[in-house]
Amino acid sequence: MTKKKYSVYILGTLQLGIGFGIVTLLSRWVTGNTILSSPEALIKYGILGGLGYSLMGAFAFILFGFIATYIRKRYPMHQTIGDLLKEKTNPVGYWYTILLLLFTGMDSMFVQATGAAILFSLIFPVPLYISLFFFFSFCFIIAGLGGMQRIHQFAGISITFIFAAVILIPVYFYIQNGVYPVYEGVQLYHPYLLFWKNIDTFYFVITGIIIGFGQVLIDRATWQRVYMLKQSRIRTIFTLTGLIWATIPLSLSSLLLVVVYSGSFHDVKILLFQLVYNINSTLLIAIFLLFCFSAISSTLNAELHATTVFTVKNAISELIPLSDQNKWHLSYWITGMQCLFLYLVVIIISPTFIELLFFFGSIYAALISPILWMIFSRDRLSSFVPSTSAIAIFLSILSSSSTGHLGAIWVSFITSTSLCACFMLFRFLSIFREEKRKRLL
């Protein structure tokens, strides 16, 4: 395999074992959402919300591990989820699903970029356009010019900073302040955080598992990594990744309890700033800042790279024949344009992360059944199968005002699943009648 082949840009040159497989998956999935949604989950649903946020990721990775093993055995020559779509759908279904996945990819990158903007504005005493310029320049060099090989080189460094922060900072705080004063403070100022008989929390957790599984199932970067892992270790890698990932939201929740125990607050986002303010050690402040930067940049790099590959390999190459050299050059341009677009947009818009999670959760939930059917089917499917997700998303948007964000996700999941089940039954009956007619002849 020479470096000129575009497959090197997509997958790198190494087959990853358990250790580095877990590292590369964690560097993709310890995201800005994890850092910024954990406070919102804690404040809205209490300590069980933080625990539930951890369970979402753990179950999602463990469940996908079983499917990833099948994907690797059943489709050994594929490299992306777009390759599966090309094999299992007709042109209409293919382009619809490609556009929908690109839309979700842009959303994911937008969330990471917005997370970077929020953190930089809270932490660094320089104008936001300057800090974001250096941030996106760094991402363009790593993800755009470097490709998968350069992403692998930085994955280990990112995970080192992430675990240094989630282990050292809580230990520092609880040794300095003690567990009992923190518990007493939370009980005094925010007793609802300790309330565990909350049905809404369990509803949130179960719905979150659907969102998490759907997000992993259609994630372009995760599909690329399935083809980088040693086949015999895939299930183990995803299971261990889920268990290790679950410790990070728990650690962040414990850190935020240290911040909120001393009094009231009026803005969830300000909790992270208060956390930095309460860290007295310069070394720990530096580790926390590197943790935030590593989590957001590694995820954005993975998303930029995966979206670029998806666009070049599964969209543009389907329309215009491209040589490997043209694909390399086109990848540089597309990554650069994405970085410029995100840089211009995130300065203007500042969404609420939990609300974004729920809004796009309807899309993730709607795609679960159609994508699973494509994976396990042995035939090319009708365009009706992917289009069930469009009907499901439309109904979830219509019903969201009456059912709420969580209910809309269930409407989306149940609608697409029911339509796929009805179509499968109709298809089975058609085949049965055709065989019966042939036997009579």
**Tens of pLDDT along 369-381?**
999 989 998 888 8
Radius of gyration (Cα) for the chain, nearest Å? 23
Query: What confidence score (pLDDT) does residue 333 get?
Result: 92
Q: Note the pLDDT tens digit of each residue in 112-139.
A: 888 788 777 777 777 888 888 888 998 8
**Mean per-residue pLDDT, 410-433:** 88
pLDDT attached to residue 391:
92
Average pLDDT value for residue range 286-293: 84
CB atoms within 10 A of CB 393: 21
CA-to-CA distance for 166 and 373, rounded, in angstroms? 39
265-280 pLDDT per residue, tens: 666 666 776 777 777 7
Q: Is 229 helix (H, G, I), strand (E, B) or coil?
A: strand
The DSSP letter of residue 378 is: S
Question: Higher confidence at residue 46 or residue 236?
Answer: 236
52-62 pLDDT, tens digit per residue, is 888 888 888 99
419 pLDDT band (50/70/90 cuts)? very high
Tokens 């755009």, located at residue: 144
The pair of structure tokens assigned to 293 is: 């930067």
- Which residues lie below 8 Å from residue 94, measured CB to CB, with a gap of 6+? 85, 86
Give me the residue label for tokens 């372009």: 220
User: pLDDT exceeding 70 applies to what percent of the chain?
Assistant: 93
DSSP state of 3: T
For 327-354, write each residue's pLDDT tens digit: 888 999 999 999 998 888 887 765 555 5
Could you tell me the two tokens for 156? 């280990």
pLDDT band for 323, please (50, 70, 90 cuts): confident
What pLDDT does 4 receive?
Answer: 67
Q: Which amino acid is at 250?
A: L
- How many DSSP H helices and E strands does the chain contain? 18, 0
What torsion, rounded to 10 degrees, do the Cα atoms 316, 229, 151, 342 define?
A: 50
User: Could you tell me which residue, 184 or 225, shows the higher pLDDT?
Assistant: 225
Most confident of 266-275, 356-365, 388-397: 388-397
Q: What is d(CA 388, CA 370) in angstroms, rounded to the nearest whole number?
A: 7
The pLDDT score that the predictor gives to residue 358 is 60
Task: Encode pLDDT of 187-241 as tens digits.
Answer: 777 777 777 777 777 888 888 888 888 889 988 889 988 988 888 889 999 999 9
Q: With 50 as the cut, is the pLDDT of residue 1 above it? A: no
Own/partner pairs, 316-319, CB within 8 angstroms, 24+ separation: 318/86
User: pTM for this structure?
Assistant: 0.85
**pLDDT score at 350:** 57
pLDDT score for 268: 64
Q: Which two tokens stand for residue 38?
A: 């954990």
Average of pLDDT values for 306-323?
A: 88
Site of tokens 């591990």? 65
Q: So what's the pLDDT on residue 239?
A: 92
Q: Smallest Cα–Cα separation from 408: which of 389, 394, 421, 420?
A: 394
Nearest to 152 by CA among 328, 238, 23: 23
Collapsed DSSP state (helix, strand, coil) of residue 385: helix
Strand, helix or coil for residue 16: strand
Nearest in space to 78 (alpha carbons), one of 68, 93, 90: 68
Q: Is the pLDDT of residue 428 over 90?
A: no
* Paired residues of 229 in beta bridges: 16
Mean pLDDT, the chain, integer? 83
